[in-house]
Amino acid sequence: MYDTIIIGAGMSGLAAGIRLAHFDQRVCILERHYTIGGLNSFYRMGGRDYDVGLHAMTNFARKGDKRGPLAKLIRQLRFGWEDFKLAEQIGSSIRFPGVSLDFNNDIEMLESEIASRFPDQIDGFRALCGSLLDYSDMDGGSPEFMRSAREVLAEHLTEPLLIEMLLCPLMWYGNARQDDMDFGQFCIMFRACYLEGFGRPYKGVRVILKNLVRKFRGLGGELKLRHGVSRIHVENGKAVGVVLDDGTEIEGKRILSSAGNIETMRMCDDITTPEVARAGQLSFIESISILDRDPKDLGFDRTIVFYNDSEKFHWRRPDDSLCDARTGVICSPNNYIYDSDEGVLPDGVVRITTLANHDLWCELPEAKYLAEKVTQYDAAVASAVRFMPDFRSNVVATDVFTPKTIRRFTFHDNGAVYGAPDKQLDGCTHLPNLFLCGTDQGFVGIVGAIVSGISMANRHCLMTD
């Protein structure tokens, strides 16, 4: 009998597991996939290391910073700053037709860019910064949280193009809702991206995952890969345990699930037709191009470029096509300021992410699927090189993943990267001892997911034990 069974060995499940194991609970993390990380994973192919998911870690903080989510998670998980050692970004850009805004980890850069490109908007932008909710208001209790971000932005800014440009990176890095954004989520992402900024560990996401697993196992936690949960067994209105894909039953006093809201409901054997929450629709296709040189040698020093090829930013699933490359994110892990003792990355890398339709990708027969990966790679790169130097003659290797790949790694409905648009911020379900963590609970991104795991473990699994 476990004190807590955790479903999913992604960032949130591992973080929750560490908290519980640290305070002497018997904890088991069950993961269906053969590897850890969920949406944020890594692999090796053709002698090279690849990351899935990670472009940048948001919520950058420097050693010794005491405020902000990164400092909080390091304290809560009893890590040292070295365990999360992040190199700072060189600088990123938001590029729309005819106008570009640069930003880095110091908000003054974005402010001065706005002051020079949109001089009559700078006062409004400062007022917007002053109206942001604080992290302590992010439990969903604030009446402002659920307001439309577009509505709040329009109260401060009169230039529609600037509104679209400011929304573009924030939606790309953490908005499960199509077209608009909850103001609370806008504030979380504004702080995470513009006020705190981007960083990356030299060795990528594997460093963070390996540290989480090592800490969890060191505390006596059990991690079982290839152990998919097929059912949550409910008796007399309480979860009593889980049934694995192979029929094995495991008993637990409580269950914390990172499988997603609707996905978790579907597992409960007291629910026949889950309709509790609509699953998210937004999924991506992502390509990795390995170059024969550092991108800086092609004149590209941007850490991230968020581009959009018209004045209006379209943040929704393409309904009639596999992909929508009108907007995208270009990222280069080479363009961080790594310590001199770390050196430079072994390869030049450009990653491009564009919007994609999960259902259409999954309907393709295998041969067509493989052919479309090539076609859509070409289309995404052709779209991106309008906003960066053309690197196509320098590509030595590529890999592409689609919504189908994301679904295979995460088992989330629709391969939805940021989960369902309606979050369950308190983590509660219809059962008194079944709780949610991860993307469908609230915060997204690497730091967000870890904070979600910590806060749900604290609130539901530690204080009541």
Partner 1 sequence: MTPAEIRDEIIDILEDISPDEDLDGLDDQKPFRDQLELDSMDFLDIVMELRKRHRVQIPEEDYGNLASMHSTVTYLEPKMKDI
Residue 141 within binding range of partner 1, rule CB under 8 A: no
Query: Considering only CA atoms, which of 83, 57, 15, 282 is closest in space to residue 175?
Result: 282
Nearer to partner 1, 63 or 368 (CB): 63
Alpha-carbon distance of 173 to 167, in angstroms, equals: 10
Residue 367 within binding range of partner 1, rule CB under 8 A: no
3-state helix, strand, coil in the chain (%, to 5): 35, 25, 40
Alpha-carbon distance of 281 to 211, in angstroms, equals: 32
Nearer to partner 1, 78 or 214 (CB): 78
Nearer to partner 1, 81 or 369 (CB): 81
* Listed ranges 78-86, 234-242, 377-385, 417-425: which one lies at the site for partner 1 (CB under 8 A): 78-86
The site map against partner 1 for 403-442 (x = CB under 8 A) is: ----------------------------------------
Alpha-carbon distance of 245 to 56, in angstroms, equals: 35
Nearer to partner 1, 24 or 378 (CB): 24
* Listed ranges 19-27, 202-210, 289-297, 365-373: which one lies at the site for partner 1 (CB under 8 A): 19-27
DSSP state of 46: T
The only residue of 454, 456, 460, 461 in contact with partner 1, by rule CB under 8 A: 454
SS3 64: coil
Residue 23 within binding range of partner 1, rule CB under 8 A: yes
Residue 14 within binding range of partner 1, rule CB under 8 A: no
The site map against partner 1 for 261-280 (x = CB under 8 A) is: --------------------
* Listed ranges 194-202, 286-294, 329-337, 451-459: which one lies at the site for partner 1 (CB under 8 A): 451-459
Q: Considering the complex, what minimum distance in angstroms separates the CB of residue 17 from partner 1? A: 15
* DSSP of 321-345: SSEEEEEEEEE-TTSEE--TTT---
Task: Tell me the number of residues near partner 1 by CB under 8 A.
Answer: 18
Q: Considering the complex, what minimum distance in angstroms separates the CB of residue 64 from partner 1? A: 5
The only residue of 157, 455, 456, 461 in contact with partner 1, by rule CB under 8 A: 455
Nearer to partner 1, 96 or 443 (CB): 443
Alpha-carbon distance of 92 to 97, in angstroms, equals: 16
Residue 75 within binding range of partner 1, rule CB under 8 A: yes
Nearer to partner 1, 19 or 32 (CB): 19
Burial label, 339 (beta-carbon count in 10 A; 0-12, 13-18, 19+): exposed
* Listed ranges 20-28, 182-190, 203-211, 405-413: which one lies at the site for partner 1 (CB under 8 A): 20-28
* Listed ranges 43-51, 52-60, 77-85, 236-244: which one lies at the site for partner 1 (CB under 8 A): 77-85
Nearer to partner 1, 74 or 152 (CB): 74
Contact indicator for 311, 96 with CB cutoff of 8 Å:
yes
Q: Considering the complex, what minimum distance in angstroms separates the CB of residue 215 from partner 1? A: 14
Q: Which long-range contacts (CB under 8 A, 24 or more apart) does 141-150 make?
A: 142/184, 144/183, 144/184, 145/182, 145/183, 145/184, 146/182, 146/183, 146/184, 147/182, 147/183, 148/180, 148/181, 148/182, 148/183, 149/180, 149/181, 149/182, 149/183, 149/185, 149/186, 150/180, 150/181
Half-sphere exposure of 431 (CA within 13 A, CB side): 27
Contact indicator for 199, 86 with CB cutoff of 8 Å:
yes
Burial label, 129 (beta-carbon count in 10 A; 0-12, 13-18, 19+): middle
The only residue of 62, 78, 226, 408 in contact with partner 1, by rule CB under 8 A: 78
Tell me the H-state helices in 145-253. 149-156, 160-172, 183-190, 205-218
Q: Considering the complex, what minimum distance in angstroms separates the CB of residue 242 from partner 1? A: 26
Of 54-73, binders to partner 1 (CB under 8 A) are 63-64, 66-67, 72
Sequence-distant (6+) residues with CB within 8 A of 299 are 389
Distance between alpha carbon 12 and the CA centroid of its chain, in Å?
A: 11
The structure tokens 């310590």 sit at 339
Q: Considering the complex, what minimum distance in angstroms separates the CB of residue 464 from partner 1? A: 10
The structure tokens 């309008």 sit at 386
Q: Considering the complex, what minimum distance in angstroms separates the CB of residue 462 from partner 1? A: 6
Both structure tokens of 62: 């420097």
The only residue of 80, 97, 220, 432 in contact with partner 1, by rule CB under 8 A: 80
Alpha-carbon distance of 270 to 175, in angstroms, equals: 31
Nearer to partner 1, 219 or 360 (CB): 219
Residue 463 within binding range of partner 1, rule CB under 8 A: yes
Contact indicator for 389, 299 with CB cutoff of 8 Å:
yes
Q: Considering the complex, what minimum distance in angstroms separates the CB of residue 248 from partner 1? A: 31
The only residue of 142, 178, 398, 458 in contact with partner 1, by rule CB under 8 A: 458
Nearer to partner 1, 73 or 193 (CB): 73
Q: Which residues bind partner 1 (CB under 8 A)?
A: 22-24, 63-64, 66-67, 72, 75-76, 78, 80-81, 454-455, 458, 462-463
